Amino acid sequence: MPWVIAIMVALTVIAAAGGLAMHNLAVTAQSELSGGATVQIVEASPTERNRQAQAAEILLAQHPAVASLRRVPDAELEQLLEPWLGTGSGPGLSTVSGAASDTDAIPVPALIDVRLRSAVTPGDLDSMRRLVAEQAPAARIDAQSSWLRPVFSAISSLQWLAFALVMLLGLTSGAAVWLASRSALGANRDTIEVVHLLGGTDSQIARIFQRSIALDATLGGTVGLLMGLAAVLLLGRQFAGLDSGMVAGGGLTGFDWLVLAAIPMVGIVIAVLTARLTVMLALRRML
Amino acid sequence: MKNAETEVVTFNNVGLRYGADREVLSDVSFTLYPGSFYFLTGASGAGKTSLLKLLYLAQRPSRGMISMFGTDVITLPRTRLPAFRRRLGVVFQDFRLVPHLSAFDNVALPLRVSGVREADLHKPVTDMLDWVGLSHRSDAQPATLSGGEQQRVAIARAVIARPDMLVADEPTGNVDPDMALKLLRLFEALNRLGTTVVVATHDVHLLRKVPESLIMRLDKGRLSDPTGALRYPPRREIMPRDDDGQADDFGFAL
């Protein structure tokens, strides 16, 4: 029995840690992206692209909702695109400096990262579009969060999956304790009957089982917590090694660690309540 | 006059059947009075153990009425039954000692169930084990005790809490005659203190050991009354004996 509880608690800790990490990741990413908008100047001619980008910069800086903006430098764009386009694509991207010719460049849009004073609303986007429409007709303005909507949707699904796993593991633990209690009841039926006939109450008899199950659950819960935390720390290091900004947002907070540490205690409570309920229901069938 | 407060147990037209089988007890009516000593006799299969089960509240009858200490226990909610059971002492035919508890802990069980503090347990339990001659086996597990020793532990457990009624099913079946007599004396001593004693036995020699006893006889689930035990007031009559010292014929040989 303690080993069953240990395994259940370890799996619950891992699933809960995953869910909490996903939640943190989503919150961090959303708070970063919710106040951001991206302006793309999709224009084949580098010169015209550059002109429209500069015009958009000037106009958007005057928009009341805009807190700050930054033209993404070509070098940074080049670095971003290097995995797909390879090295040497620099000249085509050098539109800011105007060093490239209008014909040999790969038409990569100019990018402006806009920070708004509050979360982006459809109204903000519409007014920004109207503002730049005349001077920078090639400008496309989108909320950054909309780019990552599928990612957030996937993260949300993973969160729900982790939550469902935790619930299922809780139910499975309860079922395991129920089976163990039924088995213990069967094995100790004579003893229970004797205590019953000596005037023992249902609660007194149930307490004997609760104590036994609580001891098993404490032992199993402690071992399970240690196993689970070890796995979480190991996985955490693996993800930290990816050095990805988004993944970095999925770290666990102090409160999260407390939640994980509380899982065995919740497990003990579930085990004790399940044992009590099982025994009380079984005893009710006796006179 | 009959008075519910002076009656320990009253059975009124009680019948008992298991499942769809025929009744193992039929139309059983009697009253047990405080401080009386009853023997319940009858051949094997007559229904003695079934009657005892009704007496120690392990079974509800199929029909009829049972009152105990002035309370109708048939309609009593099961949550109130433990309080009644604590007023009873039971010696089971198969002893029913708790296998993983020592002799001491088995004897202490009724006191623990009643909430007696650990500090107050030691003396009465030790005295009781001493009385049944098992003080030297107090730490022994039931599996290491002989049949007779187990029976004595079972009896010690039944009487430790000074019950208002002691119900014993063949309590001397596994002990030698000297120990049987000693145990009967314990029952008598308890009886003198006011405990109603009901002993089921088919050891007819035992009946003569307690001359003040009253006899209830079961025959195929029906009760007969050879000593007037079921009358009121009970005829506290010495068991009738014939000239050679043998009891009268109660339907079975003594």
Concatenated DSSP letters of A174-240: HHHHHHHHHHHHHHTHHHHHHHHHTT--HHHHHHHHHHHHHHHHHHHHHHHHHHHHHHHHHHHHHHH
Give the span between the Cα atoms of B156 and A196, in whole angstroms.
Answer: 18
Assess if residue B73 is contained within a domain.
no
Q: Residue B169 sits in which domain range? A: 35-58+79-215
Residue B167: pLDDT over 90:
yes
Mutate to test the interface with B, among A193, A197, A202 (most CBs of B within 10 A): A197
Q: Single out the residue in A102, A137, A172 at which a domain terminates.
A: A137
Least confident of A62-66, A142-146, B93-97: A142-146
Assess if residue A11 is contained within a domain.
yes
Q: Using a CB–CB cutoff of 8 Å, tell me whether B60 touches chain A.
A: yes
Statement to judge: residues A264 and A129 lie in one domain: no
Token pair of A124, please?
């903000």
Statement to judge: residues A166 and A277 lie in one domain: yes
Least confident of A83-97, B17-31, B69-83, B232-246: B232-246
* Average pLDDT for B213-241: 66
Assess if residue B99 is contained within a domain.
yes
Statement to judge: residues A49 and A132 lie in one domain: yes
DSSP readout, chain B? ---GGG-SEEEEEEEEESTTSPEEEEEEEEEE-TT-EEEEEE-TTSSHHHHHHHHTTSS--SEEEEEETTEESSSS-GGGHHHHHTTEEEE-TT----TTS-HHHHHHHHHHHTT--GGGTHHHHHHHHHHTT-GGGTT--GGGS-HHHHHHHHHHHHHTT--SEEEEESTTTTS-HHHHHHHHHHHHHHHHTT-EEEEE---HHHHHH-TT-EEEEEETTEEE-TTSTTSSS---PPPPB-TTSPBP-SSS--
Q: Residue A169 sits in which domain range? A: 2-30+149-283
Assess if residue B158 is contained within a domain.
yes
Assess if residue A142 is contained within a domain.
no
Statement to judge: residues A156 and A247 lie in one domain: yes
Q: Mind listing the pLDDT tens digit for each residue in A203-237?
A: 888 888 888 888 888 999 999 999 999 998 888 88
Q: Mind listing the pLDDT tens digit for each residue in A234-274?
A: 888 877 766 655 556 667 888 889 998 998 898 888 888 88
Least confident of A271-285, B47-61, B72-86: A271-285
Assess if residue B95 is contained within a domain.
yes
| Chain B residues in contact with A204 (beta carbon < 8 A) | 113
CA distance A265 to chain B (A): 30
* Average pLDDT for A55-59: 88
Assess if residue B11 is contained within a domain.
no
ipTM of the complex: 0.82
Sign of the torsion angle spanned by Cα atoms B190, B191, B194, B197: positive
* Average pLDDT for A97-111: 62
The confidence band for B64, taking pLDDT boundaries of 50, 70 and 90, is very high
- Contact: A287, B99; criterion CB under 8 Å: no
- What percent of chain A stands above pLDDT 70? 89
* Average pLDDT for B85-114: 91
Assess if residue A157 is contained within a domain.
yes
The confidence band for A95, taking pLDDT boundaries of 50, 70 and 90, is very low
The pLDDT, as a whole number, for residue B20 is 83
Statement to judge: residues A163 and A265 lie in one domain: yes
Statement to judge: residues A25 and A153 lie in one domain: yes
Q: Single out the residue in A116, A137, A158 at which a domain terminates.
A: A137
The DSSP element (H or E) to which A272 belongs, if any, is helix A254-283
Assess if residue A35 is contained within a domain.
no
Assess if residue A63 is contained within a domain.
yes
Give the span between the Cα atoms of B152 and B124, in whole angstroms.
Answer: 15
Q: Single out the residue in A108, A137, A166 at which a domain terminates.
A: A137
- What percent of chain A stands above pLDDT 90? 6
What's the domain count of chain B?
Answer: 1
Statement to judge: residues A107 and A228 lie in one domain: no
Q: How many CB pairs under 8 A join A and B?
A: 50
Assess if residue B231 is contained within a domain.
no
Assess if residue A38 is contained within a domain.
no
Assess if residue A272 is contained within a domain.
yes
Q: Mind listing the pLDDT tens digit for each residue in B140-152?
A: 999 999 888 898 8
CATH of the domain at B138: 3.40.50.300
Q: Are B17 and B62 in contact (CB under 8 A)?
A: yes
The pLDDT, as a whole number, for residue B105 is 93
What's the domain count of chain A?
Answer: 2
The pLDDT, as a whole number, for residue B14 is 92
* Average pLDDT for B49-60: 92
Give the residue from chain A lying closest to B89, CA to CA: A198
Assess if residue A166 is contained within a domain.
yes
Q: Using a CB–CB cutoff of 8 Å, tell me whether B59 touches chain A.
A: yes
Residues in a beta bridge with A41: A110, A139
Q: Using a CB–CB cutoff of 8 Å, tell me whether B58 touches chain A.
A: yes
Q: Mind listing the pLDDT tens digit for each residue in A3-54?
A: 888 998 899 898 888 888 888 887 877 777 777 888 888 888 888 888 888 8
Burial of A285: CB neighbours in 10 Å, binned 0-12, 13-18, 19+: exposed
Statement to judge: residues A127 and A155 lie in one domain: no
